[in-house]
Amino acid sequence: MSFGPPLPRSSFVLALLFSAPVLGDDLFLDDQPLPQVLTATRLKQSAAAVPGSMTVIDSELIKASGARDISELLRLVPGMMVGNINGNQAAVNYHGTSASEARRMQVLIDGRSVYRAGLATVDWSDIPVAMEDIERIEVFRGPNTVSYGANALMAVVNVITRAPANSHGTRMKITRGQRGISDWYASQGTGWDSGDLRLSLSGQEDDGFDTDRTGADYRDSRRLNRFSLAVSQTLNEQQSLDWQLNAKDGSNQRPYTYRPVFSGITSAGNNSDVIAKDYASSVRWNLDIHPDHSLYVQGSAQHWDRQQTWRACDAEVSFSPELTRLWQLNPNYTERLARHMERFTGTGAPAGTPAEQALGNQVLEQWRNGARQTICGDIDQSARESRYDLEVQDTLSLSDSLRLVSGVNYRYDRADSETYFNGTLDDTTWRAFGQLEWRASEHWLLQGGAMFENTQMIGSSLTPRVAVNYLINPRHGLRAVYSEAVRSPDMFENSVNWSYRVTNLSPGAYGQSSARYFVKTRGPGDLDQEHMRSRELGYNGFFADLGLNVDVKLFYDEITGMISEPLRNNQFIASNSNSARFTGTETQLDWHVSSNDRLRLTYAYVDANASNPRDEQQSARNSGSAGWLRDWGNGWNSALFYYGDDALNGYGFERVDTRVAKRIALGRANLELAGILQQRLDNQPTTFVDNRYDSRHVLYVSAQLEF
């Protein structure tokens, strides 16, 4: 696939859409049911009526893709930038920003946020949901603070799992392949007079990338097991109860990246792996007051536990109280001194303030007197985060032309880490939201909404959205949208209290078996929210007689007050001093050519311009996907997908995925055998220079039995 200039391509698509031969009589037929989405405004709407751009990845696409992770599925979303920090850490951003900190997209599982509380990221590999349990994924492509609060700055991904009522019977699946791929899944669904239940267990393994930039083995495999229980129960004609329990346990290898600061020290470490445990529960009470009025109350609790301990070696002077005070005076001066101790031993401390030079000379004297000896100890970089969430939502049809959704939300977040926070931090958030939809006439749909949010750590914000949709008919609509959004700085950015207590020191440091490393970092404590202003023009159409869905979007997004500096212990300079602008166009086309063939195309042109070059790293100017799904009959089906982008963090990406499957009837049971081949067309690392495979292709096979 070649990527051309954006505007001519968009003009061609728009011309195609509104040409009379294509529309024909289909334009005026509206008696067929329309597919509906929920994520955009919390109201059920047809795609043509949504105040923004939507992508729906349905169960057919999920299965045909052969994807093993949610992040891989998001390659099917136009404008979604999918990369890898390492083999078990995906980096996903909509339109871009930093390649390593994915902090500006809300991710929901059945409406429950999995955006971590303290470190403000999404652990894509550790989400406790199996791919086989996912019914569809709805992606709102654009800011949606109005509906989901701060952190829904650039997009919302809502993963919707299969209803227990649609999960009856037994399913078992195994997957094996190259690169250590070893997955399994088993589920049992059943029902009774007033309810349904689905229990699923699953596991996943692979070896990650093969080698780093030097050709050495890359330590980034993953091993995990998951548990999921979903129950839906009807209480009476008006009330029902849905509840879920989810858990995940596993380990993620981490490349050992610590390098001693002082010369002449050899690090003895080789393992900084993470033991990851996730727990989640939710319960939702639904009340249908009458056909035009419904209410729900939902509560959820989540806990993330990341245990990471490792051993490091450095010079004894690393624990010098004088060196610690010097670091607090001037980190740059201290780092210069520490990295060149031998050079300054004979000449004295480098030029600086009198206080800096005095402390520097004391440190040099300690170095001369033996504090250069190698000393090793244990480092605990573990973190635990918890979230408790309670939400009430009311949906009311005030008339045939007026609908209102409103609600309130309370959330409590807590983060606990000796290393990152020197203890515990917590935060509370209150929200009130509303969205009004008014059908002013047969063709005009006006929508407006706002979210008021108050957090203990940051303060209050009010974010609005207004949209005008012109419905040519119920299946074809033009839209103009203006929205504002915010992202609150997370606990780590704003209030980090970062230092390492090293234990089991051998030999002891200044006579102690436990001591603090000299590098200490404090967050500013007064960061403001990031702000986005977004303008969008678009078209969405469903050509029923052709089986064709089309969406075209033009966008202009501006972010101010961006927090984008490196968030590292020795270079932590968090501030609201940056900004970014994203402009461009996106197109997606989903065409059921016949009952046997389906074609799907996406393309995005994103022009990113940021004050900090890091905020352009994860923005590919051109990206897209193409897919062909085919049912050959006699139980055979196949899928062919292409994914490409011209540069994520400087590295291009092109891959072709092929899946071939055969379904075999075995009495009352069905067996499906499938083979998936992924072939890279480029020969570049993935996102970062160390992310390399020895072979450009990977093959894995699966067998699934249903009865």
Q: Which of 522, 408, 412, 520 is nearest to 457 (CA)?
A: 412
Q: Is residue 295 part of a domain?
A: yes
Separation CA 542–CA 476 (nearest Å): 6
Q: Which of 103, 132, 134 is nearest to 119 (CA)?
A: 103
DSSP annotation of 370 reads I
11 pLDDT band, cuts 50/70/90, is very low
Q: Cα-flanking dihedrals φ and ψ of residue 467, to 5°? A: -150, 145
Average pLDDT over residues 41-50: 92
Separation CA 505–CA 22 (nearest Å): 75
Q: Is residue 692 part of a domain?
A: yes
- By the 10 Å C-beta count (0-12 exposed, 13-18 middle, 19+ buried), 52 is classed as buried
CA distances (Å), origin 186, targets 171, 196, 390, 706: 6, 17, 31, 10
507-545 residues labelled b (16+ CB within 10 A) or e (exposed): eebeeeeebbbbbbbebbeebbbbbbebebebbbbbbee
Q: What is the pLDDT of residue 263?
A: 81
Q: Is residue 57 part of a domain?
A: yes
The answer to whether 44 touches 38, Cβ cutoff 8 Å, is yes
232 has a pLDDT exceeding 70: yes
Q: What is the pLDDT of residue 574?
A: 83
* Domain count of the fold of the chain: 1
What does pLDDT average to over the chain? 91
Question: Which DSSP helix (H) or strand (E) runs through 241?
Answer: strand 239-252
Q: What is the span of the domain harbouring residue 695?
A: 6-312+381-706
Q: What is the pLDDT of residue 309?
A: 92
Separation CA 533–CA 514 (nearest Å): 50
Task: Count CA atoms within 13 Å of residue 288 on its CB side.
Answer: 11
pLDDT tens, position by position, 176-222:
999 999 999 999 999 999 999 999 999 999 999 999 888 889 999 99
Kindly report the CATH number assigned to the domain that includes residue 53: 2.40.170.20
Query: Residue holding tokens 């022009």?
Result: 607
Q: Is residue 320 part of a domain?
A: no
Q: Is residue 306 part of a domain?
A: yes
Q: What is the pLDDT of residue 419?
A: 92
Q: Is residue 318 part of a domain?
A: no
pLDDT tens, position by position, 557-582:
999 999 886 667 766 678 899 999 99
Q: Is residue 160 part of a domain?
A: yes
Q: Is residue 16 part of a domain?
A: yes
31 pLDDT band, cuts 50/70/90, is low
105-109 β-sheet, strand order: 53-57, 134-141, 155-161, 105-109, 112-113
Question: Which DSSP helix (H) or strand (E) runs through 378?
Answer: strand 374-380
pLDDT tens, position by position, 343-371:
898 889 999 999 999 999 999 999 999 88
